A and B are shown apart, each in its own frame.
Chain A
Amino acid sequence: MATAESAAPPDDGILRTNDGVPLKTTLRRVNRRQKMVALGLVLPLFLFILVTFLAPIGMMLFRAVDNPVIQEQIPRTVALLNETWDGESVPDDAVFDVLAEEMIQQYKVREIAKVGTRLNYEQGGLRSLITKTARNIAHRAEPPWKDAFIAIDERWGQPETWGIIQNAAPRYTLSFFLAALDLRYDWQGNIVEQPEYEQIYVKMFVRTMWISGLVTVLCVALGFPVAYLLATLPMRQSNILMILVLLPFWTSLLVRTTSWIVLLQTEGVLNDIMVWIGILSDEGRVQMIYNQLGTIIAMTHILLPFMVLPIYSVMKTISPSHMRAARSLGATPPRAFWDVYVPQTLPGIGAGSILVFILSVGYYITPALVGGRTGQLISNFIAYHMQKSLNWGLAAALGALLLLGVLVLYWLYNRLIGVDKMKFG
């Protein structure tokens, strides 16, 4: 035993190692290397996720509120409008003068159509108004501009038009989100519903949620017995069954979807068989694809493995002695199954359900191929706005709402069941 007289550390209640360094400092130093190694191992994946996942999502969320067009193309008009216009009458001559100047300038660099397109999101017909006016004032019309504008189109003499321009102007806007919820700003800046014939997105969201929920329920109903068999059959049979479950994973999504077309179309296998047996007459063939039914059938089939595998992996861990114990304690087999077995599979059902639901909420290819008109989901509209209408702001807003919906659902799941109880395998 060494006596501590010579180098007695200060008695300040801090634990020290033998050389007098505080214990915590030493411990930190020892652990630092391990932490660096751990960080080094995680870093590549973290960067990858940052670049390919988090950044795109951030950009999408940003694009849903980003609104640069009006500000960039006709900035002085907007500024003057905000400054001088009373919001009720037709603006002053000065506003028309500035607008004409900016329009001619943008017309020459062929940018003015962007303004038209942007305004057209707010109200149909404004694109043609802008292009028509711009072409006109650049080539023929003369000042005074106010009269010239109103002469070209009387809408320039209505405060509604100016109100829409003003509302579409801010650098950041909620109008894409409003559009995604079938709402819009009227010309006075109030939030109002879209006209009835333009209301589609809320209906689409509801349909998407409903179909996703139904597909999830169908997957549980079809997947649970299969998972049970997988978990309880002897090794040989369960391996074969497992291959059958996994087979869809190894086949192209397109192949699987088209095979449903072959099976279900009006001239398809199933209809042919039913006509042949005599259940249906040749004229009474049932339309089972290119509608909602087709979407539901094909999606259920494609997503089934995502339900079977988590349930199976949970069932695999349930000891058969639990069922025996329940029966020895006096429970009939169905009662034992319900009281003892099913509750223990809930983490698997939960994991499978949330997986299937989230996947189907964002499903695109299958509804696009077999959905027809009534089987389209919200993602088909997002794709439409990304590829056809090029209204990326609206596409981003729809996507952001979808993301929000999924997050809310996840939060709910966590509150009700607990994410830590979820088991994927």
Chain B
Amino acid sequence: MADITDPFVRFMDVQKSYDGETLVVKNLQLDIAKGEFLTLLGPSGSGKTTCLMMLAGFESPTHGEIILDGVPISNVPPHKRGIGMVFQNYALFPHMSVAENVGYPLKVRGMGRDEMHRRVRRVLDMVELGHLGGRRPAQLSGGQQQRVALARALVFEPALVLLDEPLGALDKNLREQMQYELKHIHETLGVTMVYVTHDQTEALTMSDRIAVFDDGIIQQLAAPSTLYEEPGNSFVAQFIGENNRLLGTVEAVDGQECRVRADSGDVIHALDVRTTGVGGRTELSLRPERVSINPGAGTTPNILPAEVLEVIYVGDHIRSRMKVCGHDDFIVKVPNWAGHVHLRQGEQVEIGWFASDCRALDA
């Protein structure tokens, strides 16, 4: 966050409670740069939507202040904030045509008819719906409705656009297509977008930065690649991408590396990211695609015996569930290329990985 010198949006010590007993958002500090695509990612009930609603003005912070473009906005009502918003179920007005829906923000701003028509047309063309302006929202497909909602949130040229799980109701193919379109629109217009989702793929493909929420706290705020490759704690490791967990106790720390005695008794060399020192419990995080099978002695610092419990053909890779260190939910992904290892169920193999791929996190 230190890299943002002039934040466009700044959450300062924001806390939110609905009932006075529990905090939904705990002491939030978050800076968003101008033109950034920031995703709030987290399971439901993690406080991410509440943050978005506070930014939009539909909820007010119990404590703290939100600053938009240098101005504290706690006392500014939603309709004066000038923030575009796309809602979860689009919230298109069913009694208005598509063009009327998109023109609505211009109408309430008292814009003249000609100018209004021109801008509605332009933004509808941008989302490739220029020919459907006369239809009612109910006559459109889910994807088209989604674009109308987006067009409506962009037409009055807000500097900040909030998107609340906008793709949740679409089927998988459409969702992927819309992800790219959204990304392109973001790049073309250069607006700041804050995107809320619980879908990590969506977050990874679209965002400049992702704030992973859990329990009202930002667990980690980083670029997608950093989040995936270097998760800061076990929640992030578990939540982003597929992850193997091995539990153990730290036996020795040597600079960046540490030696961990797994509960099964095996010794594992790992990267010390967040352990509590020698004698502390730790959770090791290891991505399934970073494991090699029958690596050969000496090639990797960690070599452990494993039993193949299940082999699943997925297409681009072969997925295998193995029993390792007493855990029978250890997943290994073998890329499907010409020379790949053919695993058989019940087979005993050896698996290995580098210490740098295995991150020792908090237990």
Q: Which residues of A contact B (CB under 8 A)?
A: 319, 321-322, 324-333, 335-336, 339-340, 343-344, 346
B338 interface contact, C-beta 8 A: no
Query: Residue of A at shortest CB range from B85?
Result: A328
Q: Are B91 and A332 in contact (CB under 8 A)?
A: no
A-contacting residues, B81-99, CB 8 Å? 81-85, 87-89, 91-95
Q: Are B89 and A326 in contact (CB under 8 A)?
A: no
Q: What's the dominant secondary structure at chain A's contact region?
A: helix
CA distance A332 to B79 in the complex (A): 6
Q: Are A326 and B95 in contact (CB under 8 A)?
A: no
B342 interface contact, C-beta 8 A: no
> Which residues does chain A contribute within 8 Å of B56, judged by CB atoms?
324, 328
A339 touching B104 in the complex, CB below 8 Å, given contacts A328-B83, A328-B85: yes
Q: Are A331 and B94 in contact (CB under 8 A)?
A: no
Q: Are B91 and A321 in contact (CB under 8 A)?
A: yes
Chain B CB count within 10 A is highest, among A326, A330, A331, A336, for A330
Partner of B78, one of A321, A328, A346: A328
> Which residues does chain B contribute within 8 Å of A328, judged by CB atoms?
56-57, 78-79, 81, 83-85, 153, 162
Shortest Cβ distance from residue B110 to the other chain A in the assembled complex, whole angstroms: 10
Q: List 17 A-B contacts (CB under 8 A).
A: A322-B91, A324-B58, A324-B78, A325-B91, A325-B93, A325-B152, A327-B58, A327-B78, A328-B85, A329-B104, A329-B108, A329-B152, A330-B105, A330-B108, A332-B79, A335-B108, A346-B95
Q: Which residues of B contact A (CB under 8 A)?
A: 56-58, 77-85, 87-89, 91-95, 104-105, 108-109, 152-153, 156, 162
Query: Residue of B at shortest CB range from A321?
Result: B91
Q: Are A326 and B87 in contact (CB under 8 A)?
A: no
A344 touching B95 in the complex, CB below 8 Å, given contacts A319-B89, A330-B156: yes
Partner of B87, one of A325, A330, A340, A344: A325
Q: Are A326 and B84 in contact (CB under 8 A)?
A: no
Q: Are A330 and B82 in contact (CB under 8 A)?
A: yes
Query: Residue of B at shortest CB range from A341?
Result: B93
Number of A-B pairs, beta carbon distance below 8 Å: 70
Shortest Cβ distance from residue A320 to the other chain B in the assembled complex, whole angstroms: 9
> Which residues does chain B contribute within 8 Å of A343, judged by CB atoms?
95
A327 touching B79 in the complex, CB below 8 Å, given contacts A339-B104, A344-B95: yes
Partner of B91, one of A324, A330, A339, A346: A324
Q: Are B88 and A321 in contact (CB under 8 A)?
A: yes
In the complex, given contacts A322-B93, A328-B57, A346-B95, what are 16 additional A-B residue pairs having Cβ atoms less than 8 angstroms apart?
Answer: A319-B91, A321-B91, A324-B58, A324-B85, A324-B91, A325-B91, A328-B79, A328-B81, A329-B79, A329-B105, A330-B80, A330-B109, A330-B156, A331-B108, A339-B104, A339-B108
CA distance A172 to B57 in the complex (A): 73
Query: Residue of B at shortest CB range from A320?
Result: B91
A344 touching B108 in the complex, CB below 8 Å, given contacts A324-B58, A328-B84: no
> Which residues does chain A contribute within 8 Å of B79, judged by CB atoms?
327-333, 336
CA distance A325 to B84 in the complex (A): 9
> Which residues does chain A contribute within 8 Å of B91, judged by CB atoms?
319, 321-322, 324-325
9 smallest beta-carbon distances between A and B, as pairs:
A325-B91, A329-B105, A321-B91, A328-B85, A327-B78, A331-B108, A343-B95, A327-B79, A330-B108
> Which residues does chain A contribute within 8 Å of B82, judged by CB atoms?
330
> Which residues does chain A contribute within 8 Å of B93, judged by CB atoms?
322, 325-326, 340, 344
